[in-house]
Structure 1
Amino acid sequence: MAQRPSVRSIADVVALIDGLGKITGRAQIIWFLVFGGLFLDAYSNAALSAGLGPMTTQMELTSTQVSILTATAPALAIIFNPLGGWLATRIGRVPPLLIAKVFAIAGGLLAALAGGFTVVWLGRVLVGVAYGIDFAVAMALLAEYTPAKLGGRLNLWQAVWYVATTSNLALALVFFNLDVGADIWRWSVGSAAVVAVALLLSQALMLKESPTWLASKGRLDESVANLDRIYGIKAVVGTPDAMTRTAADAPVIGFRHTGLLFKGEYLPRTVLASVISLGQSMQYFAVGWYLPLISLTIFGESFEKATVGSMVFNAFGIAGGLLSAYFGRRLGLRLSSAAGFAGVFVALVAMGLTFEKVPTAVAFLLPVLFILCHSAGPGANGKSIAALSYTSDVRALGTGVTGMIGSFGSVAGLYLFPQVKDSLGLADTFLTLSVVPLLGLITCLVIKWDPTKAASPDEVAGQDLDASAVPSVAAR
């Protein structure tokens, strides 16, 4: 009978998970359930956009009210991304995910039953809270659930995002054909609450706390138990090492420790993750603002044709999201981000120089190039590179802070660039926006850090502490 491995530290837990060749059984179900929260985040956003036209007509919304509704969720994520990271550091990874689903349910139902703008907005506030908390925590938990050699799989969240968006658009077509009339938006946002209920029940039943987080708190007994429950890894609790004892006695990482992310070896990692997150969200939400207009031009002005057109664009996003896992594994997250930014830069410059000067079929290919390069590169990597760049004690804080910075990009894309468009025109707006991927490209080339090409931060931290604890020969 083989001797069971002994768990004395976070590094031991990480090494056992990293030693797995693949994720199977219960672990795979749990892995996809966490991804389900990201599906819900995207689905909730798409639920509003799919029915925004009928809602605007039914409630006689002004353009300002429409802008407020559209930007509420990413604006609130600026606050609740780091708050979610703080909660995950303090009380664990799973409780905040469940809390987020409760907010999503309440927000979806409130918006669906609303009689006016204010109540719809309050519903979107609750959805924004859920979005901010869930995204920061889910990526940290996925990073801790996933063996290092499979780290590129985290990029699949981008494909999940586009699948969710397409699913809601398809459901909107179903509701349209059921002749629900102008209330189609109520069915759309209400369906997000149904998805949230299913996820809340499933996650509450199946999710197990991260063994890595438990070990970081000195709770080795629970950590070993969850290694067995999740992966079937049979281990025993050893005598806690110096790192574990130190971690158990250390104060909880909170907002006041944010400065840690901008010091020492974490500084370039935080800058890289933040720039990728900021750049990808700004370019996506700015150009995404105009994709429905392009869809109307190409596919016609009816609700059905415009919706099908949006689904076609999203199909390329799904393809790019799936490719992002491959490119992330082969090139690394840094270089695949650089390549994606380069492609987006070319697409935006071409869109700016050829706008209304080329046949419609050719004009269709440029947004397709934009979406493919965005989703296969920086669109996915902004979240993944942050989740993989920090030790477990600051991981959730790191994903929360970089997510917050990315949310600034979302708000800027939704508010700033429409104003630029009104001042300069659409063609010059595309040219102006091309500065964003260019800066992202330069940053990716200057900063060399790539978590997929380096050892796990937790294992390195454990090795460094062990080395410092060994007396030197000269001191003997």
Structure 2
Amino acid sequence: MSGHGASAAEAQLPPLTKGPHSKRVGLISIVACLGGLLFGYDTGVSSGAEGPMSDELGLSDLQTGVVISALVFAAAVGAFLGGRMSDAIGRRKTIVVLAVMFFVGVLFVVLSPSSHLAGFTVVVIGRIILGLAVGGASTVVPVYLAELAPFEIRGSITGRNEMAIVTGQFLAFCINAVLDNTLGHVEGIWRVMFGVCALPAIGLFFGMLRMPESPRWLVEKGRTDEALAVLDTIRSSDRARAELNQVIGVASDEEEVEASKPGFKQILANKWLRRIVLVGMGVAVAQQLTGINAIMYYGPRVLEESGFSESAALTAATAFGLAAVIGGVIALRNMDRLDRRTTFIIGLSLTTLCHLLVGIAGLSIPEDNSVRPYVIAVLVFLFVLSMQSFLNIAVWVWLAEIFPLNIRGLAIGISVFFGWFVNGLLALTIPTLVTNLGLTTFFLFAIVGVIMLGFLWHEVPETRGRTLEGLEEALLDGEIYRELPRRLPFAGLFYDRDRH
């Protein structure tokens, strides 16, 4: 357990035990993480499907960009709406609705007409529906898992969703490569690429019908008997009652505030809530400004710019998906061993270094040198590995943990909305940047990385080793900020909080 600000709330709980209840938590996480798998597949499949889709429908580069980015911008809206919906109707019901949206979105894309304008229009509609579902899943699934998991293993349980995301992306890359190499000559093969994700959507729908609601959401709605019934299936009996009492205690303390200033008004009226929502937005944006999704969407284009042929680039891009999966395994192993802040700083330092090295390699190695594409591919591989090992999973876990219960869905929705919006801007601009600046584009990511390092060090509180209720109490009285380091090391200088 972390020693950073651990409170009496953790000490008051009976120790975590193994048994049927712990297996139940594992099963719930597997089913819910099908939402993450869909998130990953739907964001990764476009890297291989865009070419044959554009050829069949006769899309221009701009129209292709609209198709790809439509999902991303819709995901920003879906993240916000999903958070609000989960606060209103529950985490479980929201995930069931998202499963339906995943399936419907796939149908629109797969069954779109082959004619130019009609096909383009229907595909964009399908991608918007998928984007709303992806954004909703990115918000609701981590919160659902965080609220069900014991605090001792909350990081690894919640982190499984990000592991499912990168697994979905890897599967998309592999399926794209296999279908392109074996059936690439078949017209409409891109429809099969998109259509594969209908299967996990069906699994998510029927699986979540048998899963419980979040006990913390039930308490927040005054349904304590139902909350205890759920906790009794995922905790030992004495632990379930002790945990329920803690949740009820914190929820009761906030009832008056919640009744008078719900939602946005509550956030605006409390300086600590305003601050943590702004920090949450910054963390979500920092994750996207590493450029990780630019690689996941346009990895083959970057490799072509480095010197690979189109076919070789598509095959080589599967290595980036493999790096993400390997990094995810490393992250899950360390999630309940390393503090969140530690993983943030290590991850962003490594990704910034990789950006710098890619830019240097692009400038220093001649374009006609046969080694050039392989050097750059290895550096991008290391970037993805670093990102997934230390940053991506930690970000999603932290966002699911940090916000108070009665605004959790709204606050994470706001944060992830801004993250997805920046993601969409990158999806639109990366092809242009790579075309005009080449690999020196990575220098821009390196500069942003240095700035984000300062932000993370100075503003991000620690969450590991604490109950959600303990975190909430420390946040609402400002104590969690007083635990932050007093000085910021930056380029050999020190930033002193006492003077600024």
TM-score in same-fold range (> 0.5): yes
Secondary structure, aligned partner of 1:24: helix
Q: Deviations over 1:332-365 (max 9, x none)?
A: 1112111111111111111112205333332222
How many Å apart are 1:62 and its aligned residue?
Answer: 0.5
How many Å apart are 1:203 and its aligned residue?
Answer: 1.4
CA pair 136-444 structure 1, distance change in 2 beyond 3 A: same
Structure 1 position 147 matched with structure 2 position 139:
no
Amino acid at match of 2:467: S
Q: Which residue of 2 aligns with 1:442?
A: 454
Match of 1:135 among 134, 138, 163: 138
Aligned partners of 1:138, 1:240: CA distance in 2, in Å?
A: 20
How many Å apart are 1:66 and its aligned residue?
Answer: 0.8
CA pair 351-277 structure 1, distance change in 2 beyond 3 A: same
Q: Which residue of 1 aligns with 2:285?
A: 278
Q: Which residue of 1 aligns with 2:316?
A: 309
How many Å apart are 1:321 and its aligned residue?
Answer: 1.6
Q: Which residue of 2 aligns with 1:324?
A: 331
Aligned partners of 1:380, 1:217: CA distance in 2, in Å?
A: 29
Structure 1 position 124 matched with structure 2 position 130:
no
Q: Is the 8 A contact 2:146 2:401 kept in 1?
A: yes
Q: Which residue of 2 aligns with 1:214?
A: 218
CA pair 377-18 structure 1, distance change in 2 beyond 3 A: farther
Structure 1 position 160 matched with structure 2 position 168:
no
Match of 1:371 among 378, 381, 384: 384
Q: Which residue of 1 aligns with 2:116?
A: none
Match of 1:193 among 198, 209, 232: 198
Match of 2:209 among 204, 209, 223: 204
Q: Is the 8 A contact 2:263 2:407 kept in 1?
A: no
How many Å apart are 1:320 and its aligned residue?
Answer: 1.2
CA pair 349-243 structure 1, distance change in 2 beyond 3 A: closer
Amino acid at match of 2:385: L
Greater Cα offset, 152-161 or 264-273: 264-273
Aligned partners of 2:247, 2:109: CA distance in 1, in Å?
A: 50
Structure 1 position 398 matched with structure 2 position 405:
no
Q: Is the 8 A contact 2:54 2:64 kept in 1?
A: yes
Q: Which residue of 2 aligns with 1:59?
A: 57
Q: Which residue of 2 aligns with 1:346?
A: 353
Structure 1 position 170 matched with structure 2 position 177:
no
Aligned partners of 1:316, 1:239: CA distance in 2, in Å?
A: 40
Secondary structure, aligned partner of 1:344: helix
How many Å apart are 1:224 and its aligned residue?
Answer: 0.9
Q: Is the 8 A contact 2:362 2:440 kept in 1?
A: no
CA pair 396-375 structure 1, distance change in 2 beyond 3 A: same
How many Å apart are 1:289 and its aligned residue?
Answer: 4.9
Q: Deviations over 1:391-436 (max 9, x none)?
A: 221222222111111112201211234444444x123321122122
Secondary structure, aligned partner of 1:377: helix
Greater Cα offset, 119-128 or 385-394: 385-394
Aligned partners of 1:446, 1:280: CA distance in 2, in Å?
A: 16
How many Å apart are 1:248 and its aligned residue?
Answer: 6.2
Q: Is the 8 A contact 1:276 1:378 kept in 2?
A: no
Q: Which residue of 1 aligns with 2:489?
A: none
Q: Is the 8 A contact 1:77 1:131 kept in 2?
A: yes
How many Å apart are 1:105 and its aligned residue?
Answer: 0.5
Give TM-score, length-normalised by structure 2: 0.81
Greater Cα offset, 267-276 or 350-359: 267-276
Q: Which residue of 2 aligns with 1:183?
A: 188
Match of 2:401 among 361, 370, 388: 388
Q: Is the 8 A contact 2:25 2:149 kept in 1?
A: no
CA pair 338-40 structure 1, distance change in 2 beyond 3 A: same
Q: Deviations over 1:44-91 (max 9, x none)?
A: 222333211110111111111111111112211222212111111111
CA pair 184-126 structure 1, distance change in 2 beyond 3 A: same
Aligned partners of 1:180, 1:203: CA distance in 2, in Å?
A: 39
CA pair 338-270 structure 1, distance change in 2 beyond 3 A: farther
CA pair 53-448 structure 1, distance change in 2 beyond 3 A: closer
Amino acid at match of 1:400: G
Amino acid at match of 2:442: F
Q: Is the 8 A contact 2:170 2:322 kept in 1?
A: yes
CA pair 447-238 structure 1, distance change in 2 beyond 3 A: closer
Aligned partners of 1:397, 1:298: CA distance in 2, in Å?
A: 42
Aligned partners of 2:246, 2:357: CA distance in 1, in Å?
A: 62
How many Å apart are 1:327 and its aligned residue?
Answer: 3.8
Amino acid at match of 1:209: E
Q: Is the 8 A contact 2:162 2:396 kept in 1?
A: no
Provide structure 1 residue ranges, at least 5 long, that are not aligned to the other structure.
Answer: 1-10, 466-476
Secondary structure, aligned partner of 1:182: coil
Aligned partners of 1:263, 1:40: CA distance in 2, in Å?
A: 36
Match of 2:443 among 431, 438, 445: 431
Amino acid at match of 1:405: F
Q: Which residue of 1 aligns with 2:74?
A: 76
CA pair 351-266 structure 1, distance change in 2 beyond 3 A: same
Amino acid at match of 2:209: A
Q: Which residue of 2 aligns with 1:259?
A: 267
Greater Cα offset, 151-160 or 36-45: 151-160
Aligned partners of 2:425, 2:382: CA distance in 1, in Å?
A: 22
Aligned partners of 2:15, 2:423: CA distance in 1, in Å?
A: 34
Q: Deviations over 1:6-33 (max 9, x none)?
A: xxxxx99997698456973222111111
Greater Cα offset, 154-163 or 381-390: 154-163
How many Å apart are 1:128 and its aligned residue?
Answer: 0.9
Aligned partners of 1:460, 1:366: CA distance in 2, in Å?
A: 38
Aligned partners of 2:429, 2:404: CA distance in 1, in Å?
A: 35
Aligned partners of 2:430, 2:247: CA distance in 1, in Å?
A: 54
How many Å apart are 1:98 and its aligned residue?
Answer: 0.6
Secondary structure, aligned partner of 1:355: helix
